[in-house]
């Protein structure tokens, strides 16, 4: 009998394959006391297991194809850093020696201590980092106890399979992908979970947040997965399977058609031009921009230069990266956001001090930048220097008041003064913008606009701050709703205020790259959208098949809808024909 299960679709595509149900059972650990003469050999056994774990993760990282997205390797690097951290590399050794206990028990005790610390944190994102601890500890425990690891098996043993797991570690996800797994089902997670990010990066259809999936799906059963709709069909009948096979073929054909749009502009049928830009995290992402047909970089997230390292990047390192990015874009604009550390992007070094109890509402974004001008000034000078080689825009994250913008502008002027004294060239008219991602900023845009040259809507944070919903928390992320009337009105207020101030407004959040919202956003007046490069062709196709005059009238009605039900009805009218 067929069973239909629903979760959260996070990576689009249709896949059909046999289920491989993965149980990440925690290795059984028992405690025993060592004779005095066996303590140091036990320390050595623990050290060997740690090194084997490092070798394993390095081997995965070093053998990744050059096309592997940078954020995938970043996950593995985080686990490698954890293996080097004294809390896992030294503390268990101290316990072995102090208690004369076996290595497995010492590691288990330390794992429990670390998890307790993470679980006591107020911030939901940081609480979920205990999953990284568990994944690293379980790897070492398996090596200590001689148990098989989830990825062991012959070559191509999983080719064509759909993996069903509680949650995949970064190492598992990469290995399974390169073994030919065609899709992933995860019991845990939301749109920004590890599994979701990895699946999107690897272009692997995925459904997450499907509770108790492993209770309903048996090893070897045929499974159909629709990553767009978040649907998993277990043991489909022949008719259903043929239907999804046809849809999968249509998806492949559609992807080929989308690629052919690369060299065409995004323009509505009645002539309204929309500029499509790309979000960039690391220099390695640049290769995707040309393939997608991006017209520039709408958001370069510089904070990733600061993460997973002890010391921050200096001015010369940043200048080389920014200049290289400007050079590659060949005259297309590059928007560089000053570092947006804090919250879910803590800096590994000591320069920024302790993480606050609730970092999402604490010292982050422009607040943190202004607290540490010794870190910000080198970045400002590097951005200014890069602006001599092509069109560069500087964006300020998480602004809430004019005084923050004024302080940043003063520091920029200080950087200009220092460069003039040294005779170093830069763009004297470098555009300075603010990212609207806090309701306070959206409601006071007219005040902020007096000091800025452009605005960008950062919808990821704007939505979660407006709705008081942490998008990373599994327990509430189902309430994360870009179409909530309050969110739509804040977006519209920002657009109208920008128009009155005669400064352009763009959007760089995830909402910009979701084709379900494209017509609405264009109808509201947005003429520049920035997104992950993989989303750009589909968004372009929607724009090219739209009539601005029609969707504009419907979009205004959506903004003033009384409730979510009316929004849904109007959205169906806007997207009619897609």
Please give the positions annotated as active site.
194, 508
Residue pair 551/523 in contact by the 8 Å Cβ criterion: yes
In this structure, what token pair is assigned to residue 359? 């970092």
Describe the strand order of the beta sheet including 183-186 as a list of residue ranges.
3-6, 231-234, 222-226, 14-21, 162-165, 183-186, 206-208, 8-11
**C-alpha closest to that of 343 among 329, 330, 356:** 356
Q: How far is CA 458 from CA 192, 219, 448, 473, 494, in A?
A: 15, 42, 15, 19, 11
**C-alpha closest to that of 537 among 553, 559, 515, 562:** 515
Q: Determine whether 480 is exposed, middle or buried from the number of CB atoms within 10 Å of its CB (0-12, 13-18, 19+).
A: buried
Q: CA 38 to CA 49: how far, in whole Å?
A: 17
**C-alpha closest to that of 412 among 383, 440, 441:** 383
At 392 the three-state DSSP class reads strand
Q: CA 389 to CA 354: how far, in whole Å?
A: 38
- CB count within 10 Å of CB 16 equals 19
- CB count within 10 Å of CB 331 equals 9
Q: CA 182 to CA 161: how far, in whole Å?
A: 6
In this structure, what token pair is assigned to residue 343? 């919250």
Q: CA 460 to CA 513: how far, in whole Å?
A: 12
Start-end of H helices in 217-285:
238-259
**C-alpha closest to that of 367 among 395, 312, 404, 316:** 404
Please enumerate in sequence order all residues whose Cβ is within 8 A of that of 234, keeping only pairs 6 or more positions apart, or say none.
Answer: 2, 3, 4, 5, 19, 216, 217, 221, 222, 223
């Amino acid at each position: 009998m067929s069973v239909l299960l629903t979760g959260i679709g996070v990576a689009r595509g249709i896949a059909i394959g046999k289920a491989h149900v993965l149980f990440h059972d925690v290795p059984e650990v028992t405690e025993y006391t060592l004779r005095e003469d066996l303590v140091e050999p036990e320390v050595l056994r623990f050290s060997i297991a740690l090194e084997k774990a490092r070798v394993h993760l390095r081997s995965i990282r070093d053998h990744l194809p050059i096309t592997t997205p940078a954020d995938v390797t970043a996950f593995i690097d985080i686990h490698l850093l954890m293996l080097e951290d004294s809390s896992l590399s030294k503390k268990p050794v101290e316990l072995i020696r102090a208690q004369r206990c076996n290595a497995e028990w010492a590691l288990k005790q330390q794992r429990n201590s670390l998890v307790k610390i993470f679980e006591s944190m107020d911030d939901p994102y940081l609480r979920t980092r205990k999953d990284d601890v568990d994944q690293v500890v379980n790897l070492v425990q398996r090596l200590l106890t001689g148990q098989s690891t989830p990825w062991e098996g012959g070559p191509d043993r999983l080719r064509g399979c759909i993996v069903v797991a509680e949650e995949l570690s970064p190492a598992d996800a990469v290995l399974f992908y390169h073994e030919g797994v065609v899709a992933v089902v995860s019991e845990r997670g939301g749109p920004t979970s590890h599994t979701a990010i990895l699946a999107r990066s690897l272009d692997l259809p995925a459904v997450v947040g499907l509770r108790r999936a492993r209770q309903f799906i048996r090893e070897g059963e045929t499974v159909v997965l629709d990553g767009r709709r978040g649907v998993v069909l277990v043991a489909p009948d022949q008719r259903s399977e043929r239907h999804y096979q046809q849809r999968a073929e249509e998806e492949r054909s559609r992807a080929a058609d989308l690629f052919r749009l690369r060299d065409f502009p995004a323009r509505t049928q009645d002539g309204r031009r929309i500029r499509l830009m790309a979000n960039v995290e690391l220099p390695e992402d640049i290769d995707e921009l040309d393939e997608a047909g991006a017209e520039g970089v709408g958001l370069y997230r510089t904070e990733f230069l600061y993460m997973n390292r002890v010391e921050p990047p200096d001015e010369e390192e940043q200048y080389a990266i920014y200049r290289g990015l400007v050079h590659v874009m060949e005259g297309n604009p590059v928007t560089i956001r000053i570092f947006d550390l804090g919250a879910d992007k803590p800096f590994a070094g000591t320069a920024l001090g302790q993480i606050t109890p609730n970092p999402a509402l604490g010292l982050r974004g422009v607040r943190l930048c202004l607290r540490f001008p010794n870190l910000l000034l080198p970045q400002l000078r590097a951005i200014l220097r890069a602006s001599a080689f092509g069109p560069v825009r500087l964006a300020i994250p998480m602004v809430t008041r004019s005084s923050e913008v004024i302080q940043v502008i003063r520091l920029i002027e200080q950087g200009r003064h220092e460069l003039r004294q040294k005779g170093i060239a830069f763009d004297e008219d470098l555009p300075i913008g603010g990212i609207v991602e806090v309701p306070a900023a959206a409601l006071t845009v007219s005040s902020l606009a007096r000091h800025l040259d452009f605005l960008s809507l950062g919808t990821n944070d704007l939505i979660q701050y407006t709705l008081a919903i942490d998008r990373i928390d599994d327990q509430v992320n189902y309430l994360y709703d870009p179409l909530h009337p309050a969110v739509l009105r804040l977006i519209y207020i920002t657009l109208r205020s920008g128009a009155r101030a005669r400064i352009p407004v763009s959007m760089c959040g995830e909402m910009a790259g979701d084709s379900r919202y494209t017509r609405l956003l264009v109808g509201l007046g947005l003429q520049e959208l920035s997104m992950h490069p993989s989303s750009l062709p589909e968004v372009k196709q929607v724009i090219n098949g739209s009539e601005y005059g029609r969707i504009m009238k419907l979009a205004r009605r959506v903004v003033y809808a009384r409730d979510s039900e009316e929004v849904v009805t109007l959205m169906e009218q806007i997207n009619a024909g897609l």
